[in-house]
Amino acid sequence: MMRQYELVERVRHYDRNADEALLNRAYVFAMRAHGAQTRASGDPYFSHPLEVAAILTELHLDSATIATALLHDTLEDTEATYEEIEGQFGAEVAALVDGVTKLTKLELQSERTKDAENFRKFLLAMSNDIRVLLVKLADRLHNMRTLHHIGKPERRLRIAQETMDIYAPLAGRMGMHELREELEDLSFGEINADARDSIVRRLEFLKAESVGRIERIIGQLKAELEREGIEASVTGRMKRPYSIWKKMEEKAISFEQLSDIYGFRIVVRDEQHCYQALGVLHRRWQIVPGRFKDYISIPKPNGYQSIHTTIIGPERARVEVQIRTRQMDDLAERGIAAHWAYKDKLALHGKVQDPYAWLRSIVEMIEHGDTPEDFLENTKLELFQDQVFCFTPKGEIISLPRGATPIDFAYAVHTDLGNTAVGARVNGRDVPLRTELRNGDEVEIKRSKSQTPQPVWESMVITGKARSAIRRFIRNQQRVELVKLGHAIAEKAFADAGQEFTEKAIEGLLRRLKLARTDEVYAMLGQGALTQVDLIEMVFPGLLPADASLAMPNQADPARANAAIPIRGLTPGLAYHLAECCHPLPGDRIVGILEAGRGIHVHTIDCANLEEFHTTPERWIDLGWEAHATDGGPAIGRIKVDLRNEPGTLAALCTAIARVGGNIHNLKIAERNPAFFTMVVDIEVKDAKHLTNIMSALNASPVVMSVERPRE
Ligand code: MN
C-alpha cells in the first residue's frame, strides 16, 4: 500500500503549491474511518481510496480532488458525517465528497431500477464541478481493475455492463482516451471473455512471431525523423483487445484481415514540426489512402488535436501513426483533467477570466459529440438541462423540472405526502417550502396530519401534478364550507318556521331531489340553488302562508324574476328583457334598446354595452321604473366580489350579506388565483338602494378586497 509521504510526493511532483497538510489529514482521517474494513480481495478497505487517489495523481489533479478521492467512501461506508468533513477539510472538499457520495447512492439505485438513462443524465448534471466526475471515474477504474475479486458472476457482469454503457463513453466524451480504453477493455473481458481471450492469444502469437518488431519500427521512424532534423519522442504498442474487436465488428472482417493492430505516436515540439514529420513519413513510406485526418487544423469538438495517418511502414507492416505536440498529447490523454490542471495557469496569464465559466464551456464542448449517435445523445441532454434530480432520504431519485420546490417534490413522491407537508429539510437543513431545489439535493418532507394545502402553495409549485392536487384539495375544502353554510341555512329555516330541525327531514328529500347524500342538499342550499322557502315547502307542504313564496320569488333566471316589475315607457305588448350584462334593479336609471325581432333589452344607463348603439339613436327608448316597482317583491341584483383566498371567507361573505337583509340567490366563483378569488353573487334585494347598502357593508368586511356591480 502506498505510504502517506509517497502520495504527498506524487502530488508535489506536479504541483509545487500542493496543500500537504490537507493531504496528510485526509489520508489519516480516511484510514482511521475505514479502520478494519476489508475489500472482496481481502485487502484493507483503505487501499481502495488510496489507489483512487493515485490514479488521480496521474491526471495531475489538485489537492482538493486528491483529498476527495481519499475521503470518497467515508460518508457512505463509515461513521463519518458531512459536518465532520466540512469542519476538518472545509466547504470545498465537503461539497466534492458529498457529490461523489450522491453518485454512489445513485449507482446503487440504478442497480435496482436499471435506470441507466437517469444515471447518465445525473452524471452530467453534476458536471458543474467536473472534479466529482473525475473522482467517480477513477473510483470506477479501480473497481474494474479489482473486479475479478468479486465472487458473484452476475454482479461482475452488471458492473462491467454499466461501465461499458456509462463510464467508458463518459470518459471518452471528457477526452480521457487512455482511461476510456482501459475501462472498455476491462469490461470486455467480463462481458465477452471468450472473444477477448481469442484476441489476446492471437496477439501473443503475432508478438512471438515478430519479436522486437515494435521496437524496430520505433527505431526506424525515429532515425528517419532525425535525418530531417526533427526531434521527436516515438512510442508504439499493439492495440488493446477491445479496440481490435470493435474494428472487427464494425468492418465485419476477420482477425487475419485486420492489419493495423500496431499504433505509433510521434510527439514533437510544436505544430510546425507536426506537419514536417508528416511530410517525412509520407515521402518515405507509402500511405494508405483514406486514412489521413488532420485534427490539428480542425480539432474535434471536445478539443482533441492530432494528425492521424496510416502507412505501409517498416517491415511492410501497416501501422497507424498519430502526430501531435506535447501539449496536444497531454490533453488527448488526460482530457478534461488536463484542462482542469491548466486552468490556474491560464487564469494567471489572463487568458481566462472566470475559470468556472471556462470549464462550463468545456463541458458544453464535450456534450457536442462528433458522430450522429452523439448528436442524438446531445439532443436528449439538452432536454435534461431543464431538470433537477433529487433524492428521498432512502436514496430514491426524483426527477423534477428546474425551479421545482419541496412541495413539488412531496407531490411527486405521493399526493398524501404533499397534502400533509408542513416543512422541508434539504441536505439536513430546514428550508422554507418555496426554496428552489438543486441537483443532488436530498429532500426530507416534514408532515403533520392536521396540515392541509394552502391556496398560496399554488404560486410555489411548477409541476402539473402538484398544482392540480392543490386545486382539487381546495375545491373540496370550499365544498365543505358550502355544506357547512347550507347546514346553517337549513337550521335557521326550520327555526323560522317554528319546527325542530332533524337530519331525518333532510334525508326524506333525497329521492325527490334525486340526490344521494344530505351533504348535497346542504351544498345546494349553500350555493343558493335551493332557498329556505323551497326547503320548508318541501318538508312541510302547506305550512307556509300562501304568499310566502310570492314574497320571495325563487326563479333561477334573474331577468325573469324581475320581469313582473312594471317599467314606465314600454310599448304595451312588446317583449322586454333585463340585460344580463348589467342586471338593472328598481331604482337604477335605465334605458331600453330595441333589438330587431327580440323586443327591448333594458340596460342601466352606465352599462358598457351601450357603447355599440351610439350610432343608432333611433333604437334607444327612454324608460323608468314605476313608483310601485318594488311592490311585486324582491328583485335580483348581481355583484362581483374579490375575496381573500383564505379558509372561512365564503362563510364571512354570506354572513355579511345576511346581516343587511340580503338573500343569496346564487353564487359562483368566476376567477381564482393564489391571493384572492372573484365571486359573482346574485342577491334578492328590494331595489338598487338595498343593493348599494349591501355593497357598502361588504366593503367594510375584512375578507372583501373590492366589490362592484358588473357592467359588461
Ligand atoms: Mn469507492
CA–CA separation, 273 and 666 (whole Å): 90
Distance (Å, whole) CA 391 – CA 27: 29
CATH number given to 210-352: 3.30.460.10
| Ligand 1 centre distance from Cα of residue 49 (Å) | 6
**To which CATH superfamily is domain 634-708 assigned?**
ACT domain (3.30.70.260)
| Residue in the block written with cell 502517506 | 4
User: How far does the centroid of ligand 1 lie from the alpha carbon of residue 38, in Å?
Assistant: 12
Task: List the domain boundaries for the chain.
Answer: 4-191, 210-352, 357-472, 473-630, 634-708
Q: What confidence score (pLDDT) does residue 19 get? A: 93
| 50 C-alpha to ligand 1 centroid (Å) | 10
Distance 168 CA to ligand 1 centre (A): 17
Ligand 1 centre distance from Cα of residue 357 (Å): 29
Distance from the alpha carbon of residue 377 to the mean position of ligand 1, in angstroms: 28
How far is 76 from 71, CA to CA, in rounded Å? 10
For position 259, what pLDDT does the model report? 63
Check the CA dihedral 111-115-117-118 and report its sign: negative
Provide the CATH number for the domain formed by 357-472 in this structure. 3.10.20.30
671 SS3 class: strand
Measure 139 CA to ligand 1 centroid, in angstroms: 5
> DSSP class of residue 269?
S
Computed over its alpha carbons, how large is the radius of gyration of the chain?
41
Q: What are the average pLDDT values for consecutive 10-residue runs of the chain, which has 712 residues?
A: 90 89 95 91 92 92 93 91 94 90 70 52 62 90 94 90 81 79 94 88 82 89 92 90 83 67 91 93 86 82 81 84 90 71 47 40 46 36 56 75 90 90 87 85 86 83 84 78 80 84 88 87 80 84 61 39 58 71 83 75 85 77 74 78 82 82 79 78 85 86 85 66
Active site residues: 76-77
Cβ neighbourhood burial of 345 (10 Å; 0-12, 13-18, 19+): exposed
Measure the CA–CA gap between 646 and 650, rounded to whole angstroms: 9
By C-alpha distance, which of 330, 291, 324, 333 is closest to 305? Answer: 324
Cα–Cα distance for residue pair 440/485, rounded to 1 Å: 47
Closest CA to 245 of 293, 307, 202: 202
DSSP H helices, 617-648, are: none
Strand, coil or helix: 600: strand
What pTM does this model have?
0.52
CATH 3.40.50.10490 fits 4-191, yes or no: no
